[in-house]
Amino acid sequence: MNLVEHVREIAKNSPEKTAYHYLGQDTSYAEFDEKVEKLAFSLKEIGIEKGNHVAFLLGNSPEFLISLYACMRLGATAVPVNPIFQLDEISYIFENGDVDAVIAIDTLLPLLDQGKNRFSRVEKYIICETASCNEEMYTSISNELKNKIVYFSELLQTADGQIAPRTINEEDTAIILYTSGTTGQPKGAQISHRNLYANARDVAHFMEYTSRDRVIATLPLFHVFALTVVANAPLFIGATVLIAPRFSPGEILQLAKTEKATIFAGVPTMYNFLYQYESGNAEDFATLRLAISGGAPLPAQVLHNFEGKFNVKISEGYGLSEASPVTCFNPQDRVRKVGSIGTSITNVDNKIVDEDGNELSPHEVGELIVRGPNVMKGYYKNPEGTSAAIRDGWLYTGDLAKRDEENYFYIVDRKKDMIIVGGYKVYPREVEEVLYQHQSVKEAVVVGIPDENFGEAVCAFVVLNDQKANEEELKVYCAQYLAKYKVPTEIRIVGELPKNSTGKILRRNLRIN
């Protein structure tokens, strides 16, 4: 189960097939494989060996894919990091993740220079040159950093050999993915070559990918959702990845139309932005056969709005970093159920259990747990966290869910996000679904706030569209559809909601103690 060797076979059998498209240029599988081999050879030449940890501070680009597959070929462990993280966030991951080398875009040189004394193990910085970097950035950095820099383009140009075959076990760690946990420091999920291969294979099979597909990659590739669904799974099946450097509704619709995209994957806020983009129409997505949503629950109103405008059905799924990530998706050969994350994908088991680990009957709410070849080895240097997360071979997700008689699963909410009002359970998603149906609401998120009488109360943060509404009007609206204890006691109208780089709303940033 080695993904890089599998893709190499595709390059041998279909060398002229386009592996990826980026900024108007196609790269074939043969060319991609050659670049991967050259970078792997050069990385070894500068001292990076099997087992070394290599951090990526890269956006969506060919350099990301080449770096990932070169590290896998070499047997090094990739540590993808969000390139917009601040120094403290990056320092924690570099230190906790025992990072030996960094591959980064040149615009981050000032930040890397600022943090060089905090990155104690890093011996090499492989810098990818961009048009955004100016000469002053290069001249202003310290000699100490300059002495550790090599350039990505030069490594590809100067490579003049091939690495000897590496003995890479399928249980070796391919990637360490740092989770954005709701509390405390992030944990590094160790994803093995077997985990990565199995989830790419099973997603491609379950979602019926073919080599004719053209998959838009606008989700950030350093995030596990994108890594599997719009990169590894398409490459596994010999499809084409349409790399978009950023998400912009107009640019994505133009890319889809020009390049005849067949698959798009996004988080719910992306679908909301695409729907609200006035110039967009069904013709832009005329070639799209599949739209995938994940990363956060998809409000039913957002789904209906998007499908009504673009005439494309959205299939919602579910995953988490610790499962590489996909565990459920709405199947392609059966009915799609709105509000459901679908059924277990190929080779993966999901079930709902109570606090004692006993499986619950249909429609009973409990914790979703997962088992399969995609489940991580464990958290890096965190045996306590690993023991808490993986019990008897099952990964405990921390998400509250239920299933129906046909084994379709439904996420109710994060276990930690549930609000207890006077002993009654309130699931934020239920309140958010109601708010999204109001004509004035563009976005909404619900959190619990302290309450002297009931322990907690419901608070909603709302972004309005062009339609006008006030707090009281929205409360009255909610009262028509929700039990009294579920109605927000406080509604705050804000200009925008905090989001991470995938567009997922950061509920934890809005919690009020």
**Gap between the Cα atoms of 29 and 15, Å rounded:** 5
Which CATH number fits the domain that encloses residue 451? 3.30.300.30
Q: What is the mean pLDDT of residues 278-286?
A: 96
Q: Are 14 and 238 in contact (CB under 8 A)?
A: yes
506 occurs within a structural domain: yes
Per-residue confidence (pLDDT) for residue 504, from 0 to 100: 82
Kindly list the distances between the CA atom of residue 326 and the CA atoms of 168, 380, 469, in Å, as whole numbers in the listed order.
24, 20, 38
Bridge partners of 80, per DSSP, are 56
- Listed residues 153, 168, 183: the one ending a domain: 168
**Gap between the Cα atoms of 482 and 484, Å rounded:** 6
79 occurs within a structural domain: yes
H/E stretch holding 385 reads helix 383-389
Phi, psi of 330 (to 5 degrees): -65, 125
pTM of the model as a whole: 0.87
pLDDT at 230 over 50: yes
Cis peptide before 268 (omega within 30 of 0): no
Domains contained in the chain, number: 2
pLDDT at 206 over 70: yes
Tokens read off for 214: 């053209």
Per-residue confidence (pLDDT) for residue 266, from 0 to 100: 94
Q: Are 316 and 328 in contact (CB under 8 A)?
A: no
By DSSP bridging, strand 25-28 and strand 18-22 are antiparallel
Spatial strand order of the sheet with 149-151 comes to 149-151, 124-128, 101-105, 53-57, 77-80, 173-178, 188-192, 378-379
Q: What is the mean pLDDT of residues 231-247?
A: 97
- Amino acid in position 361: S
**Gap between the Cα atoms of 385 and 189, Å rounded:** 10
What share of the chain has pLDDT > 70, as a percent? Answer: 98
By DSSP bridging, strand 240-243 and strand 18-22 are parallel
Per-residue confidence (pLDDT) for residue 184, from 0 to 100: 61
Spatial strand order of the sheet with 263-266 comes to 25-28, 18-22, 240-243, 214-217, 263-266, 290-293, 314-319, 326-329, 343-344
Residues, the chain, total? Answer: 513
pLDDT at 88 over 60: yes
Per-residue confidence (pLDDT) for residue 181, from 0 to 100: 53
81 occurs within a structural domain: yes
Mean residue pLDDT of the chain comes to: 93
Q: Are 214 and 239 in contact (CB under 8 A)?
A: yes
Task: Give residue 180's pLDDT band: very low, low, confident or very high (50, 70, 90).
Answer: low
End-to-end CA gap in the chain = 47
Going by the DSSP 8-state scheme, the letter that residue 228 receives in this structure is I
pLDDT at 513 over 60: no
115 occurs within a structural domain: yes
CA 359, 365, 367, 368: dihedral to nearest 10 degrees? 80
Structural domain span for residue 20: 3-168
Tell me which residue of 356, 354, 359, 397 sits closest to 376, measured CA to CA. 397
Per-residue confidence (pLDDT) for residue 182, from 0 to 100: 46
Task: Give residue 277's pLDDT band: very low, low, confident or very high (50, 70, 90).
Answer: very high
**Gap between the Cα atoms of 41 and 58, Å rounded:** 20
Question: How do residues 292-324 score in pLDDT, each as one tens digit?
Answer: 999 888 889 999 999 999 999 999 999 999 999
91 occurs within a structural domain: yes
Per-residue confidence (pLDDT) for residue 183, from 0 to 100: 47
Which CATH number fits the domain that encloses residue 161? 3.40.50.980
CA 33, 35, 37, 42: dihedral to nearest 10 degrees? -170
Residue 103 neighbours by CB under 8 Å, 6+ apart: 54, 55, 56, 57, 58, 63, 67, 126, 128, 152
Per-residue confidence (pLDDT) for residue 418, from 0 to 100: 83
Per-residue confidence (pLDDT) for residue 50, from 0 to 100: 95
- Listed residues 107, 135, 168: the one ending a domain: 168
pLDDT at 166 over 60: yes
DSSP code string of 408-454? -EEEEEEGGG-EEETTEEE-HHHHHHHHHTSTTEEEEEEEEEEETTT
Going by the DSSP 8-state scheme, the letter that residue 279 receives in this structure is T
Per-residue confidence (pLDDT) for residue 245, from 0 to 100: 96
Tokens read off for 243: 């790399």
283 occurs within a structural domain: no
b/e code 464-503 from CB counts within 10 Å (16+ = b): beeeebeeeebeebbeeebeebbbbeebeeeeebeebbbb
Tell me which residue of 274, 269, 271 sits closest to 250, measured CA to CA. 274
142 occurs within a structural domain: yes
- Listed residues 168, 186, 209: the one ending a domain: 168
Give start and end residues of each alpha helix (H) in 106-209.
109-114, 135-140, 143-146, 152-158, 193-206
303 occurs within a structural domain: no
H/E stretch holding 263 reads strand 263-266
Phi, psi of 327 (to 5 degrees): -120, -30
Our CA angle for 141, 143, 144, nearest 5°, is 100
Residue 54 neighbours by CB under 8 Å, 6+ apart: 43, 48, 67, 71, 76, 77, 78, 79, 99, 100, 101, 102, 103
The region of weakest confidence among 27-41, 251-265, 454-468 is 454-468
Question: How do residues 418-475 score in pLDDT, each as one tens digit?
Answer: 888 877 778 888 899 999 999 999 999 999 998 877 788 999 999 999 888 999 999 9
What share of the chain has pLDDT > 90, as a percent? Answer: 81
Give start and end residues of each alpha helix (H) in 48-133.
62-74, 87-96, 109-114
